[in-house]
């Protein structure tokens, strides 16, 4: 490609695959060029699930093709290109030296780590570097800071109401549609026995995706996960098709079975859209509009649509706000001083705990598990077992196709591990086996007995739950939302508590944890 005569070089990162991206909006195809690069630095900062790598590289390649079809010049550096320096900074420098742009145009990245790189590039590059705000979110970073200022504690529910008002979604004038902001109480049904789930839309790999699969198998053979059941869309059109399928086939039941779990069926009535939202193939607003339209047309009930919209303009925006408000210290938080290693079963799925085996298996096979699997099974176990936040965080960042630090870290440190001491949520989501039994069909086929509290056959979640409360009594017993279980613990006979703690010790000491740092 020739030198850019006064034009701009516009970098598009792997999770910025949005035609309306801030740094692409005013592109002049006659003068400007886009740079996209597959680099080892991003592919290996954690050893991502194979499906995550395939999804992202294939989506990047398709996005570059679409830009070229519009007449835009794209410098695309593939992972195997001989000249590839292996880093985003190296590729940007190489392109600037070759193309001599008048300026480099960037859109804020999703992660703190990459923002620091952007600031370094400003110093290092021999041309002006312009960083534009990422406006693909409903709430800007400044908007969240304004909301958070002078608040003694942050709670998603109040933030969410502001977002409902700001977007006008599901509003009836200045009141919430249906007279309530939140219909969660109606969204806790277990799947009925013999319930037939719909076959969810999956996408067969096209020729480009197959090429990327070969690349990933060759270059990342030991990474976690399998490619056999890869079914993600890799283009905006595919993502839009997936959204339409969700709205038509699943949204109606999304609310009722939002928290339900079933062996061998992770998709249920979930959106299956987070990889697309996070990589930029869909925007949060269009996804919410599609759901709100279904409610307006009478094809989906309010509890489903409100529940879905809340996940996106509530939780998704809220965790992003907390991330940027609290980084970089947030990454180091460890309120409970947890220091155990991550058990091997998170990699192997080899365990007699049927719930854990299923949730790790779904994760391995699809680079996906739904929210309650991530929170109440996989996360709950890591919390109760006292696994170090850094170990848990690294795992979540690599195993899911939708994982980026801005969304994963607050979910892990805030929601799951209470490592932030109550910044994101008001209590740890610790639960015994009874919760998993109530919401799933896992326990019926388990080697353990969910009704037993102690002993070899007892469900480990049961004694680990009380052991967790006893172990962290100093730090947690003052928490109002844990007052009830602490009252129950206080009433337990000392011999009973000792038995529980012995069982927990025996179980945890026998758990192999040989991988990782």
Q: Which residues pair with 261 in a beta bridge?
A: 440
- Return the exposure string of 296-322: e unless at least 16 CB atoms fall within 10 Å of the residue's CB, then b: eeeebbbbbbbbbbbbbbbbbbbbbbb
Q: Which residues pair with 36 in a beta bridge?
A: 76
User: Interface with ligand DLZ by CB under 6 A: which range of 108-116, 288-296, 464-472, 484-492?
Assistant: 108-116
446 forms part of the interface with ligand DLZ (CB under 6 A) = no
Residues 6+ apart with CB under 8 A from 190: 260, 438, 439, 440
The tally of CA atoms less than 13 A away on the side-chain side of residue 104 is 28
- Name which of 290 and 416 has its Cβ closer to ligand SF4: 416
C-beta neighbour count of 19 within 10 angstroms: 13
The tally of CA atoms less than 13 A away on the side-chain side of residue 64 is 24
- Name which of 308 and 466 has its Cβ closer to ligand FAD: 308
User: Interface with ligand FAD by CB under 6 A: which range of 172-180, 373-381, 474-482, 495-503?
Assistant: 373-381
Q: How far is the CB of 456 from ligand SF4 (least distance, A)?
A: 13
Q: Which residues, numbered 271-290, are part of the site for ligand FAD (CB under 6 A)?
A: 271-274, 277-278
Q: Measured between alpha carbons, how far is 343 from 508 in angstroms, rounded to an integer?
A: 9
270 forms part of the interface with ligand FAD (CB under 6 A) = yes
**Residues near ligand FAD (CB under 6 A), total:** 28
User: Interface with ligand SF4 by CB under 6 A: which range of 77-85, 109-117, 337-345, 446-454?
Assistant: 446-454
Q: Measured between alpha carbons, how far is 371 from 350 in angstroms, rounded to an integer?
A: 22
Q: How far is CA 388 from CA 83, 344, 428, 447, 508, in A?
A: 39, 14, 15, 27, 14
Maximum alpha-carbon separation in the chain: 81
Q: Measured between alpha carbons, how far is 198 from 268 in angstroms, rounded to an integer?
A: 8
Q: Which one among 8, 35, 392, 459 touches ligand SF4, defined by CB under 6 A? A: 459
User: Interface with ligand DLZ by CB under 6 A: which range of 27-35, 38-46, 336-344, 505-513?
Assistant: 38-46
Q: Which residues, numbered 12-31, are part of the site for ligand SF4 (CB under 6 A)?
A: none
- Return the exposure string of 412-434: e unless at least 16 CB atoms fall within 10 Å of the residue's CB, then b: bbbbbbbbbebbbbeebebbbbe
423 forms part of the interface with ligand DLZ (CB under 6 A) = no
38 binds, among ligand SF4, ligand DLZ, ligand FAD, none (CB under 5 to 8 A by kind): ligand DLZ
Q: How far is CA 236 from CA 36, 276, 439, in A?
A: 17, 8, 34
Q: Is 421 left (phi over 0), alpha (psi -120 to 50) or beta?
A: left
Distance from the Cα of residue 124 to its chain's centroid: 33
Question: What single DSSP character describes residue 123?
Answer: H
Q: How far is the CB of 379 from ligand FAD (least distance, A)?
A: 5
Q: Which residues, numbered 353-412, are part of the site for ligand SF4 (CB under 6 A)?
A: 353-355
Q: Which one among 4, 8, 17, 53 touches ligand DLZ, defined by CB under 6 A? A: 53
Per-residue contact string for residues 416-435; x = within reach of ligand SF4 by CB under 6 A: -----------------x--
355 binds, among ligand DLZ, ligand SF4, ligand FAD, none (CB under 5 to 8 A by kind): ligand SF4
273 binds, among ligand FAD, ligand DLZ, ligand SF4, none (CB under 5 to 8 A by kind): ligand FAD
Compute, in degrees rounded to 10, the torsion defined by CA atoms 66, 71, 77, 82: 130
Q: Quick check: 110 and 405 in contact, CB under 8 A?
A: yes
Per-residue contact string for residues 306-345; x = within reach of ligand SF4 by CB under 6 A: ----------------------------------------
Per-residue contact string for residues 392-421; x = within reach of ligand FAD by CB under 6 A: ----x---x-xx---xx--xx--xx-----
Q: Measured between alpha carbons, how far is 230 from 243 in angstroms, rounded to an integer?
A: 18
Q: Quick check: 435 and 424 in contact, CB under 8 A?
A: no
Q: Which one among 10, 35, 72, 110 touches ligand DLZ, defined by CB under 6 A? A: 110
Q: Which residues, numbered 12-31, are part of the site for ligand DLZ (CB under 6 A)?
A: 13-15
411 binds, among ligand SF4, ligand FAD, ligand DLZ, none (CB under 5 to 8 A by kind): ligand FAD
Query: Which residues lie near ligand DLZ (CB under 6 A)?
Result: 13-15, 37-39, 42-43, 48, 53, 56, 88, 109-111, 114, 404
Positions that interact with ligand FAD (CB under 6 A): 270-274, 277-278, 308, 311-312, 315-316, 319, 370-371, 374-375, 379, 396, 400, 402-403, 407-408, 411-412, 415-416
Which residue ranges make up the site for ligand SF4 (CB under 6 A)? 353-355, 433, 436-437, 442-443, 446, 448, 450, 459-461
């Amino acid at each position: 490609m020739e030198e850019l005569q006064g034009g701009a070089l516009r970098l598009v990162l792997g999770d910025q695959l949005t035609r309306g991206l801030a740094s692409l909006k005013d592109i002049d195809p006659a003068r400007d060029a886009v740079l996209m690069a597959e680099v080892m630095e991003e592919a290996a900062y954690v050893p991502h699930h194979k499906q995550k790598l395939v999804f992202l590289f294939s989506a990047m390649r398709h996005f570059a093709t679409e830009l070229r079809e519009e007449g835009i010049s794209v410098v695309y550096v593939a992972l195997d290109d001989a000249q590839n320096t292996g880093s985003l900074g190296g590729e940007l420098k190489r392109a600037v030296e070759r193309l001599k742009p008048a300026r480099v145009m960037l859109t804020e990245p999703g992660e703190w780590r990459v923002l620091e790189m952007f600031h370094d590039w400003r110093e290092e590059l021999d041309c002006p570097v312009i960083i534009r705000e990422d406006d693909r979110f409903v709430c800007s970073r400044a908007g969240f800071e304004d909301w958070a200022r002078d608040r003694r504690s942050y709670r998603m529910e109040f933030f969410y109401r502001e977002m409902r008002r700001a977007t006008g979604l599901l509003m009836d004038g200045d009141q919430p549609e249906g007279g309530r902001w939140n219909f969660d109480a109606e969204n806790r049904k277990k799947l009925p026995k013999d319930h037939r789930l719909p076959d969810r839309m999956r996408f067969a790999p096209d020729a480009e995706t197959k090429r990327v699969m070969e690349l990933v198998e060759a270059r990342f053979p030991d990474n976690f996960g399998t490619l056999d059941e890869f079914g993600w869309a890799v283009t905006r059109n595919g993502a839009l098709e997936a959204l339409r399928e969700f709205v038509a086939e699943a949204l109606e039941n999304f609310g009722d079975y939002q928290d339900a779990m079933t062996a061998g069926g992770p998709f249920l009535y979930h959106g299956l859209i987070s990889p697309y939202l996070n990589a930029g193939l869909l925007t949060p607003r269009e996804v919410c509009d599609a759901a709100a339209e279904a409610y307006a047309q009478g094809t989906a009930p309010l509890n489903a649509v409100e529940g879905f919209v809340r996940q996106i303009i509530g939780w998704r925006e809220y965790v992003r706000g907390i991330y940027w408000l609290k980084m970089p210290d947030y990454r180091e938080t460890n309120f409970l001083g947890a220091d155990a290693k991550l058990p091997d079963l998170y990699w192997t799925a080899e365990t007699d705990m049927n719930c854990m085996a299923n949730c790790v298996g779904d994760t391995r096979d699809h680079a996906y598990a739904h929210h309650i699997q991530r929170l109440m099974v996989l996360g709950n176990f890591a919390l109760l077992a006292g696994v170090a936040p850094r170990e848990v965080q690294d795992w979540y960042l690599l195993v899911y196709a939708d994982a980026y630090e801005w969304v994963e870290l607050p979910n892990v440190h805030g929601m799951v591990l209470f490592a932030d001491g109550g910044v994101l949520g008001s209590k740890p989501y610790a639960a015994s086996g009874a919760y998993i039994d109530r919401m799933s069909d896992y326990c019926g086929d388990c080697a353990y007995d969910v009704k037993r509290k102690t002993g070899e056959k007892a469900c480990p979640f049961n004694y680990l739950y009380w052991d967790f409360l006893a172990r962290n009594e100093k730090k947690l017993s003052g928490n109002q939302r844990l007052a009830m279980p602490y009252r129950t613990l206080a009433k337990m006979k000392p011999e009973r508590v000792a038995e529980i703690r012995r069982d927990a010790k025996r179980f945890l000491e026998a758990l192999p944890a040989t991988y990782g740092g």
